[in-house]
Amino acid sequence: MIKRLLSYFKKPVVQPQPEVKPERARQVFSTDDYHQKSEMERIEELWERNFQNPQYHAMAEDGKLVPAHAMDNNTNIKASFYANGILPNAQVLWYASQTFIGYQMCALLAQQWLISKACLMPAKDATRNGFDITVNDGTEVDPEILDEIRRLDVQFKLNKNLIQFVQMGRIFGIRIAMFIVESNDPDYYKNPFNPDGITPGSYKGISQIDPYWITPQLDSEASGNPMSINFYEPTWWTINGILVHRTHLIIYRTEEVTDILKPTYIFGGIPIPQKICERVYAAEKTANEAPMLALTKRTDVLKVDLAQAEMFPAKINARLDKFVATRDNYGVKTIGIDDEMTQFDTSLTDLDAVIMTQYQLVAAAANVPAVKLMGTPPKGFNSTGEYEEANYHEELESIQSHDLTPLIERHHLLLIRSYIAPKFNIEPFHTTVSWNELDAMTTKEQAELNKLKAETGVLLTQSGAIDGKAELDRIAADPKSGYTGIEITEEDYEDGEDPFMPSDPSGA
């Protein structure tokens, strides 16, 4: 009984509570946001993100796919990632954070106007002036046949496919174009591409597939033999449950990564949204600060008696609220006779240059000139934009040569074997793509160029290096001379005299 009474006077035992660390302010601006994770936790997480180990497959003797060992299972790679020994871990973590963001996130970011423009503009610019079709293997082809090919290009929406091929390829880092062919062979797509398997009317067009609908498959040679020519190049792509051999596809990739990172990027390239998303965010945030600074650049300071203010807080707060309510250029501020008021202005000098510099960094990361991307002259770099334009044209020519030309040539190969050769009863032939110049000359510039060519022709004719017929042939063959197609017959020559050669070498 006594013990029970004494227990009422005992102090309650307080259980020790775990120490709660104050949460660090999250950084949403940059990729160096480590949250509250330890360094080792971050390293482990980034290892998993950067060096994924997807399930590869190899073709067994019975024709079935079986799991295969991949070369990126090497434990030495992971050990070197954990203990670099050269770069500080903070730097390693920052660079490792800038890894593949996933196809869904790429599609989400591509909705933003600047990212969308950076992906679409090179695709349209590369195809804007079009291309010509020529046959250079010695085959005589009727111009009517080439006109039929051009007509079918329009029917198969080739230009639309070219733009989409580059645009979506830049968004996802990879774009796969599949040529739809109706074949009686059930293993047509599984086996390597064979042009002889194209029958009349079997080619139906080009299908382009987003990367999240496809799955790469590597055979044992591609996944386990670094000496293989096709090492770490998917042998097949599973599309709608069908194995499609890589030779049936034309694949566009942006900047390719090293072999060790290819599985992380699902054998694609580095997406443009991933490369520029941080810079776009910085540019847009900086631009959004401009109107906020314009509205709040003036700071008012009103001297008050703090002792009196603390004694009557409600009264002083009401006065300040009224003061703030009229804080613009249209309101009237009233202060006491003994009160003092000071106003400080935040300088907005060169704010426009700071904003535009951020957008120019976006353009640099996207390989698009700032003049093209923003439609305004560059600021801050003391540049006219001419060099950037020339560099951009080199980028477009690279896209034309390495990415678009293979797509066009494969399309024409299938088109000729499926429609042209049967219709005109001729043997299949190969076409060559010749891209038109990217620089569109003005009428004045073209006239000045024609004048220079004419003066050159006069000098060569008078010196006897060429005759007038050769100069006429040049003018007739030049599509921009203004005299394309004119001809001169042999009847115009009398007694071997050249009517274009003046009798007096001086030209009189």
Rounded Cα distance between 267 and 99, Å, is 14
CA proximity to 412, closest of 58, 141, 16: 141
Task: Give the pLDDT score at 290.
Answer: 83
* pTM (2 d.p.): 0.75
Backbone torsions φ then ψ of 417, nearest 5 degrees: -70, -30
Regions of the chain with pLDDT less than 50:
34, 69, 500, 505, 507-508
Backbone torsions φ then ψ of 410, nearest 5 degrees: -65, -40
Rounded Cα distance between 186 and 204, Å, is 17
The structural domains of the chain, with segments of one domain joined by +, span 39-95, 102-274+393-435, 279-370, 443-492
Task: Give the pLDDT score at 508.
Answer: 45
DSSP 436: P
Rounded Cα distance between 306 and 214, Å, is 70
Beta bridge partners of 217: 236
Kindly state the helix (H) or strand (E) to which residue 238 belongs, with its residue range: strand 236-239
Measured at the CA of 427, the angle between CA 195 and CA 177, to 5 degrees, comes to 30
Task: Give the pLDDT score at 46.
Answer: 65
Rounded Cα distance between 34 and 25, Å, is 10
85-97 pLDDT, tens digit per residue, is: 677 777 877 888 8
Residue type for 27, please? Q
Rounded Cα distance between 428 and 417, Å, is 6
Q: Give the E-state strand segments of 265-347 in sequence order.
A: 298-302, 341-345
